[in-house]
A and B are shown apart, each in its own frame.
Chain A
Amino acid sequence: MSGNVYDALTEADDPRWAFGSGFSEAGAEIAAPVPDGADPADLAEYCLMLGDDALVYSHRLTEWVSNAPELEEEVALANTALDLLGQARMLLSRAGHVEGLLDGRTARTEDDLAHWREAAEFRCVALTEPSDELDFARAVARLLVFSAWRLALLDRLRDSADPVLAAVAAKGVKEVAYHRDHAARWVLRLGDGTPESHARMQDALQWVWPYLGELFRTSDVERRLVAAGIAADPAQTRDEVDAVLDRVLDRATLTRPDVPAAGTIGGRGGRQGVHTEKLEQALVVLQSLARRHPGAAW
């Protein structure tokens, strides 16, 4: 036994310092050719959209670690974040690879994309951006909305002509369905619980509802890729998502909020790189370690 306690965690010729670090390859499909009929720039951008949704929201979910009302729920939210982070890794890797095929561009890694882009280069929707400020009702309200929507997208992407999108979707459908059902059961428990929990759950719906409108807007990139058999059309998921939300809210004795959708700026939103200031605040934390120690492996 050597004197250094950390030696026990590492293998002799392995520079990694702890279990679970040293991610290097997200999957062989990442380098697959761009499907016929697709503009590589569009495909890269679309992978960023779905990847950034997962990355930024996963970061917000991890804010619950050491803060959840019970240990089991902390584990639940952390595991949910981990599933989404895994999806983000594959999607960002694909985006970085495809981007490198463009004239005058070099490929970027998932870490380059996660840690070294500025807010305006992100393509996530505003729903993923704010902190829920450790309000548990907000956390489950957002998880219900996000996962009902993402599930509807992934369900359609199982047939995508892009092998990475299809693979992420095939696995992600099972994971996100589990997240959605988990959130739905909490909304039932709180909505149909005490007068206090009911009121706070209703307030949380009020908080999350303005973000719904953006989820069903189809960007130009998505429209072109839907035609190429690669993307899912978000506008077509609306009825399905509404049906799920209505069913949960009805059984939870909650009321669907009547609030206007948050506005766009000149028709531009998250998919075009126009974000709330909340994204900047998230990135300051998310990117701090990589920027403080450029090139470090962990």
Chain B
Amino acid sequence: MVTGLLPGLGARDVVAAVVDPEMPMLTLDDLGVIRSVTEDGGRVAVTITPTYSGCPAIEEMRADIAGALTAAGYGPVEVTTVLSPAWSTDWISEAGRRKLADAGVAPPGAAAAAGPGPVPLVLDPPSSVVRCPQCGSPATEALSRFGPTACTALRRCTACREPFEHMKEL
């Protein structure tokens, strides 16, 4: 037992509660990027995985995790990034999906599984339904396949006319 720690809050809980720097409605636990948290006395080793190859938030996540653990009385802290297996939006928790929708971001559907042979060319917008996070209407249309962060696309609801972000399936 290490003194100075918040009562009842293990290192895993501290890391899990850190919020994503670009999607602050989600914790890192909701996002599914935490691979492991091991604790030995006050020493903590955390392993996380990047979402997109070029995700600029990964360094900020590392700093935020180290800061949260230090503030909770842990130390020394080591945060490591692992590349494999590759993160998928399928790893976002049910709670995370609800929080996204509550914040006006349509959560991702199921990611396409890799089939045999070449990755199929998709020339027409997919028929999968993305529901409007504001009014729930399935009548929505794509505005742009790339949004303000690497992980979102822009859509518009044709029922309530509200534009919204959609977290892309990856």
Contact = CB atoms under 8 A, between A and B. Distances in A.
Interface of A: 11, 14, 19-29, 72-73, 75-76, 79-80, 82-87, 89-90, 151-152, 155, 163-164, 166-168, 170-175, 177-178, 180-182, 184-185, 188, 240, 243-244, 247-248, 251
A72 B150 contact: no
Contacts of A84: 53-54
B82 A86 contact: no
Interface of B: 21, 47, 50, 52-57, 59-60, 63, 67, 80-87, 111, 114, 118-119, 121-123, 143-148, 150, 154, 168, 170
B118 A240 contact: yes
Contacts of A180: 121
Contact of A170 (B86, B111, B118, B121): B86
B121 A181 contact: yes
B81 A173 contact: no
Contact of A152 (B50, B118, B148): B118
B56 A82 contact: yes
B70 to A, nearest CB: 10
Given A86-B55, A87-B53, A172-B53, A177 B119 contact: yes
Nearest to A91: B53
At the interface, is chain A mostly helix, strand, loop or mixed?
A: helix
A84 B54 CA distance: 7
Contacts of A26: 81, 83
Most buried by A among B54, B121, B143: B54
Given A167-B86, A178-B145, A240-B118, 5 more contacts: A79-B146, A82-B150, A177-B119, A181-B122, A184-B121
Nearest to B55: A86
B123 A171 contact: no
Contact of B59 (A20, A29, A73): A20
Interchain residue pairs A-B with the least CB separation, the first 9? A86-B54, A86-B53, A72-B144, A167-B83, A20-B56, A82-B54, A76-B146, A27-B83, A167-B84
B59 A22 contact: yes
Contacts of B84: 29, 163, 166-167, 170
Given A11-B67, A167-B84, A185-B123, A23 B59 contact: yes
**Residue of B21, B67, B150 with most partner-chain A CB within 10 A:** B150
B39 to A, nearest CB: 19
B81 A25 contact: yes
Contact of A79 (B83, B143, B150): B150
15 contacts: A11-B63, A24-B59, A26-B81, A75-B144, A75-B147, A79-B146, A83-B53, A84-B53, A84-B54, A87-B53, A152-B118, A170-B84, A174-B170, A244-B118, A251-B123
A63 B60 CA distance: 26
Contact of B123 (A29, A174, A188): A188
Given A79-B146, A152-B118, A240-B118, A27 B59 contact: no
A24 B154 CA distance: 31
B52 A83 contact: yes
A20 B60 contact: yes
Given A82-B150, A181-B123, A188-B123, A90 B52 contact: no
B85 A27 contact: no
Contacts of A22: 59
A72 B146 contact: yes
Contacts of B53: 83-84, 86-87, 89-90, 168, 171-172, 175
Nearest to A13: B67
Nearest to A158: B114
A23 B150 CA distance: 17
A175 to B, nearest CB: 6
Contacts of B146: 72, 75-76, 79-80, 182
A26 B82 CA distance: 8
Contact of B83 (A155, A168, A184): A168
Contacts of B111: 174
Given A11-B67, A188-B123, A83 B83 contact: no
